[in-house]
Structure 1
């Protein structure tokens, strides 16, 4: 495991917004994290957080329409940074509240924040970006 900048090339994955694509994306990220993060527990936390971001993008941003989602993972200045970007639109808040009435939902962002040292969510008309960061060492 390197965990140092320059030793681990960035991982760039573009995949269609479809649930069946998620296991392959997680597998590629898992392999990349094994070479980028010294602590296996931290690597697992990042994998879980990024998996949640990708799932949210498929479910909420695109609702499975197969539009492209981009995941980029890189090490910068001793920090792992994973971004998940889509061009979809979030479900309106009222619709989310209604969908939660019959099942527990809505803990993904809190989970991402708990598993990383920094989580940033940027929602624009052009799409959503989730940035997840944690030390590589």
Structure 2
């Protein structure tokens, strides 16, 4: 079984639960184990929240509304379910990650009382593999993470 989808979203808070619900619905329909689905939805929410907060200039329209999809202020979420693997990618158009050695990568464990900075750490802990990179030759961050899927008994879309 192979499923993929991509959403182009506005850089606003309402985009985070929209992406999360889309992922959960896909996983439910495919028959993915609910615990794995939940873990991936938490990681996706963190990646989307980072894209909303850091993912681009504030290109508000003159009337104060958010920018249109595809503008420098938007971001893209793509999910691939292929066999027993799920890969999720969140790409924004912001400044990207600082170069390694300048407070950027690798992801550090946040302090116990930290109010920010937990998102990338959570993604790395939840996923089987995670990478945090900049778009080559352009501004923007690329957050990718993979997780091996487990299936519910009698999952409808699992190939036998």
| Fold agreement, TM-score > 0.5 | yes
Q: For 2:81, which of 75, 80, 96 is the aligned residue?
A: 75
Bigger radius of gyration among the two: 2
RMSD between aligned alpha carbons? 2.4
C-alpha distance in 1 between matches for 2:29 and 2:129: 21
The counterpart of 2:52, out of the listed 43, 50, 58, is 58
Q: 1:89 to 1:115 in 2, by over 3 A?
A: same
Partner residue, 1:98: none
**Cα deviation per residue 1:18-74 (whole Å; 9 max; x = unaligned)?**
112222222111111223463211110000001100000110122654422111111
The gaps in structure 1 that reach 5 residues or longer are: 95-102
Q: Normalized per residue, which structure has more strand? A: 1
Q: 1 or 2, which has the higher helix percentage?
A: 1
Match of 1:87 among 93, 97, 101: 93
Matches of 2:145 and 2:30, distance apart in 1? 14
- Aligned counterpart, 2:118: 107
Gaps of 5+ in 2: 60-66, 68-72, 104-113, 151-160
CA distance 1:36–1:130, change in 2 (3 Å): farther
Residue 19 of structure 1 aligns to a residue whose secondary structure is coil
Structure 1 match to 2:149:
136
